[in-house]
Structure 1
Amino acid sequence: MSFDVDALLDKLDLDAKVRLLAGQDVWTLPARPEIGLSSLVLSDGPVGVRGVRWSPDDPSVTLPSPTALAAAWDPRLAVRAGRLLAQEARRKGVHVLLAPTVNLQRSPLGGRHFECYSEDPLLTGMVGAGYVTGVQDGGVGVTVKHFVANDSETERFTADVHLGERALRELYLAPFELIVRRAKPWGIMAAYNSVNGITMTQHAELLNGVLRDEWGFDGFVVSDWLAARDTVASANGGLDVAMPGPRTVFGDQLAEAVRGGEVDPDVVDDMVRRVLLLAHRTGALDGGTPPEQSTMDGDAVAREIAHRSFVLLSNQIGLLPLKQPPSIALIGALAADPKILGGGSATVFPDHVVSPLDGLRKALPAGTELTYAIGADPRTTLPPATDNFRLRATAKAADGTRLAEFPLREARIDWIGELPAGLDLATLASVEIEGTFLPEATGTHTFGLTGPGDLRLVVGGQTLFDGVNLPEGGDVFTSIMQVIEQRRDVELTAGEPVDVSLTYWVPSEMAEFARGTFAWVIFALGHRGPVLDPDAALDEAVALAGKSEVAVVVVGTTAEVESEGFDRTSLALPGRQDELVRRVAEANPNTVVVVNAGSPVELPWRDDVAAVLLTWFPGQAGGDALADVLFGHEEPGGRLPTTWPAKLEDAPVTRVTPEEGVLPYDEGVYIGYSAWARTDRQPAYWFGHGHGYTTWVYDELDVFPDDEGGAKVRVRVRNTGKRRGREVVQLYLVPTERGDRPHRWLAGFASVEAGPGEVADAEITIAPRSVSVWRDGWQHIAGEYVLEASHSYAEPRLSTRTVLQKIR
């Protein structure tokens, strides 16, 4: 350390020390002016920086989803993403970003997999290390999460994951270890779940033993929000900070535990040292070095990551890139209102979003006509009311007293964690969205309300709903993440304004939730004007496709399908989107399907369309990036970071639901492509799959083993196409004596660029760990291996035999 931490500790008594280990509120740690310590501010990520306010009035640059970033297979791009987010964090006064998420995509049913990178620990660790490096280059800390085995959402607060030491080491701990050793993160977040019977916030074997003693991690460990449960076990188990505050298992309770002899004072001192080191690193402590200010263009970075991440799954007749067609029919509700990010704590609010419709309109070549139809709407909830609504939010006490009033850009309240300044959970009784609406069209208008609890909707003096909105048999807490919508229709006349009011009564249980310190006030008023019935909307889209040269259909998932808080039950696209694609493809052979999803979905029509382009959740500039790729200004640079099944029932690992609180990982080390290789079923698309706009020949493969059991590898590739392009060279190891190891596994990768006829060399290092197995310790398995230079897991282009052994 470049500062005297012991001198600072000497200035603090026990009570002052323990207060530094508990949040003073939802997002911050307290300041200690007597030692020059400012309040440390933590904020959710990972695609933006929300800050301490969960509100669209405090916007953030919004990058593509983590699955998209991983699909670029480029740690250097992840560094750029991290640096941009550090810039955003500094702009918002944030010291620590609660990201990245490096849990593995163990099952395609994981509801939060859009926030994770990959099914493969090496790819996850390399991209995560790049992200961490970029953020910390900007003087902002990270909390690599969720440590460990928090790979699904069902019963995530209480699930006890049972797995063997080998799978724990080779798969689930591996990304964390790589990031700790390579990027030296300043923070780790301990997960909600237990591992083999011990809650992760008090898992001394993994936090103190593996993370600190074995790997040399010197940063702080923070609990996931509300995850810390026991004062003594958490302090002795390796947790440093319990969030959120002000009432946590640390603070005063920790001081009592020290005075009672249950926690050694030296343990507390070490905890405080790590918090002060974090403060020093992030500039929150006097004498810290402020980071250099950067001026990265957020839109440009978001756009670059997006097109670099798009995966061209198929391009059967070479339709893409489009060659200035006379007419394009753009179809799908997600074309006008895309899903740009996943739900839950990953949510941030961009100040603008470029939809596919916006992007294509801006980039349309001269002489090309663009028309649009919804076709099929997958959304099961109505979008928040915005157009022609003049709205405000009014907070009231139980006696009806107005506590505060706020203008609204849209009819939605998201007060998560903290309430707006001046409000308190103890006195807040209700919140009302109220104002006027001026209809543009005469006919049936549909209003929808969401939010867990008691609501009343009044439109034009008519009460349309007055009751409890909870799932059947549910309560306010289990329904926080599960959106339930009530819809009501009303006849309105164009040009005649009506008063609108949606009142939400804060459940009495909310004042006790998290001991009254964590707000969760979420409700919304949705609206949809007169529309075609579903059959007519489909017919309209098909007719439009039939008279256009090219049809571009945008399909995907919704917030009700992919979000934090619940796992998926199906991989099918919601609504009638599959029917829409089939009918459009029958009407127009030049049909391009754009898939707007954060993780795998079934594509039963994939062989019946001209092209399939996966755009993930593409962030705020996704529409511009889509136009770039469709019109050939940029190449789709992505490769799949996860194996995609043709059907859910084909997937080899699907269990995400605990039984009697226990979730067994019975598959051991066989997840993802390793699990698929043991079955007689073929996925729709293998790990690493993806096409570009040029072709490549793999010319040479040279291996130079080192004396530590690894190797340096050079792969020479040649661009045999007619345009510049990028290739992701993937190296897989195949053991000649397999034993209990997978058929093959990813050992390294690199991306290269070259123009037509040019060659490029991919230089890749294979670490000794790639040929090591955990057997009561890491054992290097020396011997002969087949090394494959591949375009994807299932597409080796060159191979050679080599012996990898330790000499020293």
Structure 2
Amino acid sequence: MTRLSHYTHAIAAIAICIAAPRTCVAQAPVPDSAAIEQKLNEAISKMSLESKIDLLGGSDGFYLLAVPEAGAPRIRMSDGPMGVRGAGPTTAYTNGVALAATWDTDLAEQVGIALGRDARSRGVHILLAPGVNMYRAPMAGRSFEYAGEDPILAGRLAVGYIRGVQSQGVVATIKHFAANNEEYDRHDVDSVVDERTLRELYLPAFEMAVKDGKVGAIMDSYNLLNGEHTTQSRHLNCEIAKHEWGFDGIVMSDWEATYDGVAAAKGCLDVEMPYAKAMTRAVLMPAVKIGTVTLAEIDEKVRRILRLEMRFQFTGRDQTDLSIGSDSVASLAVAQRGALEAPVLLKNEEGALPFGPGVKRIAVIGPNAYPYVTGGGSAMAIPFSAKSLLEGLVARGGNAVEMLYDRGLPEASAVFHETKWTTPEGKTGVTSEAFAELGCKGTLLEKNVIANLDAATAKQTVPRQAKSVCYSAIYTPKASGKYLLLTAALGTDSYRVTVDGHETIATEPREYQAPKDSYVELTASKPASVRVEYTESHIYQMDKGESVGLTATVSVGLAPVESLPSERAKLLAAKADAVVVAVGFDQRTEHEGMDRPFELPFGQAELIRTMAAANPRTVVVLNAGGAADAQPWLNQVRGLIDDFYPGQEGGEALAKLLFGDANFSGRLPFTFERSWEESPVHDSYYADKDKRVVYREGLFNGYRYYTSAGKQPLFPFGFGLSYTAFTFSDLKLSSGNVQSGEPVTAKFRVTNTGTRAGTAIAQVYVEDPSAKVKRPIRELKDFARMVLAPGESRDISVTLNARAMSFYDVAAKAWKIDPGKFVVKVGESSENLPLAATFEVRK
């Protein structure tokens, strides 16, 4: 049987699980019962206060303690959402934002089932996924894990994902609760969000996960929300999740995100991960003794933990299912489907795609062409095998199409290593000075000359007493023009770089970092003075004043911009019939714990322009968790594909799409800005001096802002091209006049007017022009995905309930409908809505 046949049969098998779930859910959670409650009561009555408190903290990184009194085993957790981590290689599926780009709730459930099976094969009880934080800005380091900017899209996909995971006897975890919309300084930043915006934009996906998905666990976020850490927020955890929504699972912290044990206990946090640092015996036992924390509150946490374990039958079976292969064909099938459905075709001019019989030679250029790339951090899954874009194209082209490959740009290490420095005194190398105080002040402890500013080849130890190290060097350019200044360091190291006295790059100590770049104009033969003030993160960790050497890891390099694209890449592009340029971010540059820039990494814009100049039939493939700066080169290329991080099968899938073996069906789950300056959150994304991020845009984020302000982004939310075309017609509403609270059904027809099969995604928006409160001009309320043959039409029906017409009334603490006129619009993006119909809501 061919691999493709394996995929076909495997997808059919998983589809049976969804269509006839009784055949596949022998290990699914059981309903709560009097028997479970009796067992819970008996177990809790046997536990000491000490053992109860111990259960509230994790163990060994990714476990919960066993409870012998309840017959409960040690519970194992694993990161997600791209794959089950922590037990060696795994299947790596499409990342969260790529899954959102499919707009395919059926696929989301299949991904959930596959992940559930992967978890069972490894003995994992709790999967720490999915994530549904709203996309607020493209730079947020974990946007690639999440599901875009709209809560209806994110919530619908999350519900399918959760149902799939939990059908296999594995607890899903919705995260990160809430308003975790940036990674920069995530432990200390305070997201200041008004209640209405919180309820209408940032909480609905969580609400759907709880009410519709019956998710077993919620993970609180690192950030503060309105002045309070979410792990100790009674408003979020107690009032909203547990009381209003009826959440009956466990609320856990993110890793080391519990900051006050008593406040967390009072704030309805049930589990502190990865171990008890705040909710400890030492903290909670005295609090119980004096009544600050009640025994009933402790018992409720224990009850929730054990009830979840009993509900999922962890007390009655071995979680490891050896009948499931850890690298199963079924899992590969789902990964392949996700990789095929996710890519979004954003531009296709002058017949650039698909590649036809006339294309015999393709130049595959760029740092992301090989090897396989993904996002970094706890979501990164290490696959058994993965296909890069280059490998996928080589396999598809076979003997018929020649593939010519070049990385196109130097590695950062090459820029550092090849930069030639001289000291201010004229010697070859860089002057290094270690100081006793920060900012290169105080006693000079050590001075020497090192070969260069390349930490990989010129590692330098500094005295333990040093608090800063300063490097001084001269760079003499051979030609006048624009030069790349590239810097890098490790971990939480920080540094400040000046060129001829002007600060050019500066960083602060944060969790993680990627290379930084800037550009300077230099004059031929005119020496440029470069100075680096550097603080290594561990320099602060003084150890009794002993002089123990530490390794400085800063790297700095300069190179003329025009020299960055390789000469070989230019030659290959010129002789090819078409060029595919693979650029964007990867696991080193888009990563949990840090934010990335809006601009592409160093040299990539120049590489694209250079390739387009060498060959007009240039198509760009972008890997990123959100938008990036395409303006400097978009008009010079004929094609652009947003491939996100498609998972291990991405190279093969994209090759099929490029050659027209399959049709593009992805649609943007976020708005693709023309520039960062045009974003509605540009002026409020980063924290103020008090570490507060005030969401001044309120509800007007993403397409809600652009449509309401009458501005055009580069590519709108919901946009995506196809090799075919669709029309929308015959919109009819079930009624033109309804009582407040009554639903309205919208029916319409979608037709494939092209010559090949394709996927249409019909998007249904609601407008409330007569609202007495300020509302976005339109909001997505439903969508339908369908595959249509050439000439085929399909009638679609969606029902808009009261919530689809409502806004959150903060004073009343309830959802409210303003009587008056409403407009239903239907089309294929937030900007392209050819159908409209109105109805009136009366009191």
What TM-score results when the alignment is normalised by the length of structure 1?
A: 0.80
Q: Residue 472 of structure 1: SS of its match in structure 2? A: strand
Compared with structure 1, are the counterparts of its residues 303 and 805 closer, same or farther at alpha carbon in structure 2 (3 Å cutoff)? farther
Find the partner of 1:713 among 737, 746, 764: 746
Asked if residue 318 in structure 1 is aligned to residue 351 in structure 2, the reply is yes
Q: What amino acid sits opposite 2:677 in the alignment?
A: E
Deviation at 1:559? 4.1
**Which residue of structure 1 lines up, in the alignment, with residue 423 of structure 2?**
none
Alignment root-mean-square deviation, CA: 3.4
Provide closer, same or farther for how the CA distance between residues 738 and 450 of structure 1 changes in structure 2, counting only shifts above 3 A: farther
The amino acid that maps onto 2:401 is: T
Gaps of 5+ in 2: 1-31, 416-451, 464-488, 498-505, 517-535, 544-550
Maintained 8 Å contact 2:126/2:170: yes
Give how far 1:107 is off.
2.0
* 3-state SS, counterpart of residue 677 of structure 1: helix
Residue in 2 aligned with 1:620?
648
1:646 aligns with 2:674: yes
Name the residue aligned to 1:758.
Answer: 792
Of 117-126 and 153-162, more deviation after overlay is shown by: 153-162
1:45 aligned partner, one-letter code: G
Q: 1:481 aligns with which of 512, 517, 520?
A: 512
The residue that corresponds to 1:178 in the other structure is 208
Q: Does 1:744 align with 2:778?
A: yes
Whether the 8 Å CA contact 2:272–2:279 is kept in 1: the answer is: yes
User: 2:71 maps to what in 1?
Assistant: 36
**Residue 450 to residue 156, structure 1, CA distance change in 2 (3 Å):** farther
Alignment map for 1:632-671 (pairs within 5 Å) = 632-654=660-682, 655-659=684-688, 660-671=690-701
Partner of 2:379 in structure 1?
346
Structure 2 counterpart of 1:327, one-letter code: R
Is the 8 Å Cα contact of residues 154 and 658 (structure 1) preserved in structure 2? no
Counterparts of 1:251 and 1:536, CA distance in 2 = 58
Which amino acid counterpart does residue 268 of structure 1 have in structure 2? I
- Describe the shift of the 1:161–1:507 C-alpha distance in structure 2 as closer, same or farther (beyond 3 A): closer
Residues 1:506 and 1:678: Cα distance change in structure 2 (over 3 Å): closer
Aligned residue in 2 for 1:577? 604
The 1:293–1:276 alpha-carbon spacing in structure 2 relative to 1, beyond 3 Å, is farther
Confirm or deny: 8 A CA contact 1:119 1:672 kept in the other structure. yes
Paired position in structure 2 for 1:593: 620
**Separation in 1, partners of 2:409, 2:784:** 40
Aligned residue for 2:734, secondary structure, equals: strand
For residues 341-367 of structure 1, the C-alpha deviation after alignment (integer angstroms, 9 at most, x for no partner) is x11221221122201111011111542
Letter in 2 for 1:565: G
CA 796–511 in structure 1, closer or farther in 2 if over 3 Å, else same: farther
Q: Which residue of 1 aligns with 2:138?
A: 108
* Cα pair 2:180 2:221 within 8 Å, conserved: yes
Pair 1:750–1:453, CA change in 2 (3 A) = farther
Seen in structure 2, the aligned counterparts of structure 1 residues 351 and 805 have a Cα distance that, compared at 3 Å, is farther
Deviations 1:257-301 (A, max 9, x none): 222322111111110011002212333213799999766622221
The match for 1:448 is 456
Q: Deviations over 1:497-529 (max 9, x none)?
A: xxxxxxxx99698999xxxxxxxxx99999xxx
For 1:270, the equivalent position in structure 2 comes to 300
Query: Relative to structure 1, is the Cα distance of residues 88 and 291 closer, same or farther in structure 2, using a 3 angstrom cutoff?
Result: closer
Equivalences for residues 52-451 of structure 1 within 5 A: 58-286=88-316, 297-324=330-357, 325-340=359-374, 342-364=375-397, 366-377=399-410, 380=412, 448=456
Inter-partner Cα distance in structure 2 for 1:468 and 1:113:
22
Is the 2:193–2:226 contact (alpha carbons within 8 Å) kept by the matching residues of 1?
yes
Which whole-Å deviations, capped at 9, do the CAs of 1:607-633 have from their partners, x for residues lacking one?
332211111111111111111111112
In structure 1, what is the Cα distance between the partners aligned to 2:723 and 2:625? Answer: 23
Code of the residue aligned with 1:746 in structure 2: it is: L
Instruction: Say which structure, 1 or 2, has more relative contact order (CA 8 Å, 6+ apart).
Output: 1
Q: Indicate the residue corresponding to 2:808 in structure 1.
A: 774
Partner of 1:494: none
Cα displacement (A) at 1:447: 8.5
Aligned partner of 1:687 among 714, 717, 720: 717
- Following the alignment from structure 2 to structure 1, what is the Cα–Cα distance between the partners of residues 726 and 490? 60
Q: 1:591 to 1:200 in 2, by over 3 A?
A: same
Q: CA deviation at 1:746?
A: 0.7
Report if the CA contact (8 A) 1:652-1:679 is conserved: no
CA offset at residue 104 of structure 1? 0.7
Question: Partner letter of residue 685 of structure 2?
Answer: V
Match of 1:566 in 2: 594
CA deviation profile, 1:354-394 (whole Å, cap 9, x unmatched): 011110111115422211122225x54689xxxxxxxxxxx
2:756 maps to 1:723: yes
SS in 1 for 2:155: helix
* Letter in structure 2 aligned against 1:727: A
| Structure 1 residue 125: Cα displacement | 1.0
Residue from 472, 494, 506 that aligns with 1:471: 494
Change (3 A) 1:525 1:448: farther
Q: Secondary structure at the match of 1:343?
A: coil
The answer to whether the aligner puts 1:21 opposite 2:53 as a matched pair is no
CA distance in 2, matches of 1:98, 1:450: 40
Deviation, structure 1 residue 793:
0.6
* Distance (whole Å) between structure 1 residues aligned to residue 319 and residue 607 of structure 2: 57
CA distance in 2, matches of 1:216, 1:226: 27
The 2-side partners of 1:539 and 1:468 are apart by 31
Flag the 1:805–1:254 CA change in 2: closer, same or farther, 3 A: farther
Q: CA deviation at 1:183?
A: 0.3
Matched-pair identity in %:
35
Could you tell me whether the CA contact under 8 Å between 1:728 and 1:752 is conserved in 2? Answer: yes
Contact 2:113 2:168 in 1 (8 A): yes
1:382-425 deviations in Å (ceiling 9; x for gaps): 89xxxxxxxxxxxxxxxxxxxxxxxxxxxxxxxxxxxxxxxxxx
Shift of 1:566: 2.0
Choose the corresponding residue for 1:550, options 537, 554, 578.
578
Q: 1:792 aligns with which of 825, 829, 833?
A: 829
1:787 is aligned with what amino acid? V
TM-score, normalized by length of structure 2?
0.77
Q: Separation in 2 of the partners of 1:114 and 1:207?
A: 25
**Deviation digits for residues 167-195 of structure 1, max 9, x if unmatched?**
11111111111211110100001112222
In 2, distance between residues paired with 1:296 and 1:171? 38
Alpha-carbon distance change, 290 to 550 in structure 1, aligned in 2, over 3 angstroms: closer
* DSSP 3-state at the match of 1:206: helix
Equivalents in 2 of 1:735, 1:268: separation in Å?
A: 46
Paired position in structure 2 for 1:414: none
Alpha-carbon distance in 2 for matches of 1:671, 1:449: 46
Deviation at 1:656, TM superposition (A): 2.5
The one-letter code of the counterpart of 2:75 is: L
Is the Cα contact below 8 Å between 1:653 and 1:675 reproduced in 2?
no
Partner amino acid for 1:624? E
What's the offset of the Cα at 1:533? 11
Matched to 2:347, the amino acid is S
SS at structure 2 position matched to 1:732? strand
Contact 2:582–2:621 (8 Å) recurs in 1: yes
| Structure 2 counterpart SS, 1:41 | strand
User: 8 Å contact 1:451–1:484 — kept in the other structure?
Assistant: no
- Quick one: distance in 2 between partners of 1:255 and 1:451? 49
